[in-house]
């Protein structure tokens, strides 16, 4: 009779000892193992779990499976112990979520260039983006979608006091002068409504780019209400309607002293007061615009426009550009989260040397009422010059106003 070599006897003895120890150890492991591990031997484990006819046979199957696991290579066992369990083994995590790449980093020093999915942010209301980026939704992360209402100019209700009031409007056009004066008061209420919506985006920019161009439609309405004139039945002295369409293209050019060129664009605007003769006033303009910013504190926006030609018979207000101007510049300073100062200047850019200036202060109200940020502002303004309303295009006056505004961006 041939005997196995001593080395074979040693291996057989070790195998027998491991199997003897593996049975009780396997029974204990079978009670503590997770219900559905996604590792080698998964098929055998599931086969044992499916055996419901005999408890003894099921336990024996698990004992055999547990014994097999102890023979895995040490490196493989260590890797399995330290590796992150698959998505199927983590409660509440799908395989798609586990395979998704990690979010891109946020550069807090450049808030207007943050790259993040819209679904993970507040879009145009995310204050980690700059004011211009949120207002015109210049980037993918500051996008709030199309065909949704946004604020354009502040929606406001203010009490006003003027240096004078236009009781008998005049115009150089024949038949455009009021027949008799009306006893208007210099104290009024001003109501402004202004909304816009994005019609389209990515018209010229790439879908793969972080930058977004956009096409917008806007409508603004400003009314002066003689609320303190009961003797004349408190009429609306003037109401101006201003529909507008504009295209905005984003830019990221670096300028001296830390400024950045953020956008440029073109637009068409119609403005009229909806009156019949002799008070009818209207004009149409095409304009170019652009904007720059410094951090999230300073913004400068500018527009240059050209009045579209009208025949003498259709012109309600000849020479209006010499009063309301041919361009404007707006400088905004935000020293902190609660205060914004805005200066807007218009000029005729010609020999007439006329125009206007408006200084505004918007202070946040209701910040501590409820949760989240407040869009309510205390709105104080001082205007001096021509064109505070369209009926006053050729009348110079100074107006002080204080009221409440809603700012939606």
- The Cα–Cα gap between 265 and 135 comes to 14
**CA angle 90-95-96, nearest 5°?**
135
Higher pLDDT among residues 237 and 30, named by residue: 237
| pLDDT (tens digit per residue) in 229-239 | 999 999 999 99
State pTM to two decimals.
0.70
Tokens 């199997």 correspond to 19
Please identify which of the residues 146, 272, 374, 384 carries the catalytic annotation.
Answer: 272
The tens digit of pLDDT for each residue in 256-287 reads 999 999 999 999 999 999 999 999 999 999 99
Q: Is 272 a catalytic residue?
A: yes
Give the length of the chain.
409
Closest CA to 270 of 234, 230, 307: 307
How far apart CA 171 and CA 280 sit, in angstroms, is 10
Helix and strand numbers (H, E) in the chain are 7, 13
Lowest pLDDT segment from 25-34, 201-210, 392-401: 25-34
pLDDT for 68 equals: 64
Q: Would you list the DSSP string of 140-208?
A: GGG---SS-EEE-S-EEEEEEEES---SS---SSTT-S-SS-----SEEEEEEEEEEEEEEE-SSS-TT
Which residue do the tokens 């008998």 mark? Answer: 168
- In this prediction, residue 114 carries a pLDDT of 44
pLDDT value at 214 more than 90: yes
pLDDT in tens, 137-181: 999 989 999 999 999 999 999 999 999 999 999 999 999 999 999
* pLDDT tens string 58-114: 777 777 766 666 444 444 444 444 444 444 444 444 444 444 444 444 443 444 444
Catalytic residue among 241, 270, 374, 384: 270
Which one is predicted more confidently, 331 or 119? 331
Give the DSSP H or E segment for 11.
helix 6-32
For the question of residue 379 being annotated catalytic, the response is: no
Cβ-count burial 234-270 (b if 16+ within 10 Å, e if not): eeebbbbbbebebbbbbeeeeeeeebbebbebebebe
Note the pLDDT of residue 87. 43
């Amino acid at each position: 009779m041939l005997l196995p070599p001593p080395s074979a006897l040693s291996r057989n003895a070790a195998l027998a000892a491991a199997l003897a120890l593996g049975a009780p150890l396997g029974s204990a492991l079978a009670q503590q193992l997770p219900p559905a591990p996604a590792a080698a031997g998964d098929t055998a484990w599931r086969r044992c779990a499916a055996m419901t006819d005999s408890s003894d046979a099921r336990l024996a199957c698990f004992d055999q499976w547990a014994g097999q696991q102890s023979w895995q290579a040490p490196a493989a066992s260590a890797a399995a112990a330290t590796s992150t369990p698959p998505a199927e083994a983590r409660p509440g995590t799908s395989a798609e979520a586990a395979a998704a790449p990690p979010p891109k980093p946020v550069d807090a020093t450049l808030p207007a260039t943050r790259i993040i999915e819209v679904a993970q942010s507040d879009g145009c209301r995310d204050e980690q983006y700059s004011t211009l980026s949120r207002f015109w939704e210049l980037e993918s992360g500051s996008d709030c979608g199309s065909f949704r209402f946004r604020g354009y100019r502040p929606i406001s209700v203010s009490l006003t006091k003027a240096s004078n009031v236009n009781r008998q409007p005049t115009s150089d056009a024949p038949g455009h002068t009021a027949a008799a004066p009306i006893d208007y008061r210099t104290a009024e209420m001003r109501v402004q409504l202004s909304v816009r919506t994005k019609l389209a985006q990515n018209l010229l920019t790439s879908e793969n780019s972080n930058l977004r161009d956009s096409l917008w439609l806007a409508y603004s309405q400003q009314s002066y209400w003689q609320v303190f004139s009961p003797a004349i039945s408190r009429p609306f002295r003037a109401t101006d309607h201003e529909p507008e369409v504009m295209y905005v293209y984003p830019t990221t050019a670096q300028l001296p002293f830390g400024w950045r060129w953020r956008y440029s664009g073109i637009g068409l605007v119609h403005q009229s007061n909806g009156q019949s003769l002799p008070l009818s006033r209207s004009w149409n303009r095409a304009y170019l615009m652009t904007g720059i910013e410094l951090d999230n504190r300073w913004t400068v926006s500018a527009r240059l426009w050209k009045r579209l030609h009208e025949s003498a018979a259709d012109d309600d207000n000849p020479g209006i550009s010499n009063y309301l101007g041919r361009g404007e510049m707006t400088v905004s300073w935000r020293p902190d989260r609660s205060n914004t100062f805005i200066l807007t200047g218009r000029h005729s850019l010609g020999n007439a040397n006329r125009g206007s200036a408006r200084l505004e202060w918007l202070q946040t109200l209701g910040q501590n009422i409820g949760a989240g940020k407040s869009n309510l502002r205390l709105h104080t303004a001082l205007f001096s010059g021509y064109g505070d309303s369209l009926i006053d295009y050729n009348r110079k006056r100074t107006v002080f106003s204080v009221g409440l505004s809603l700012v939606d961006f």
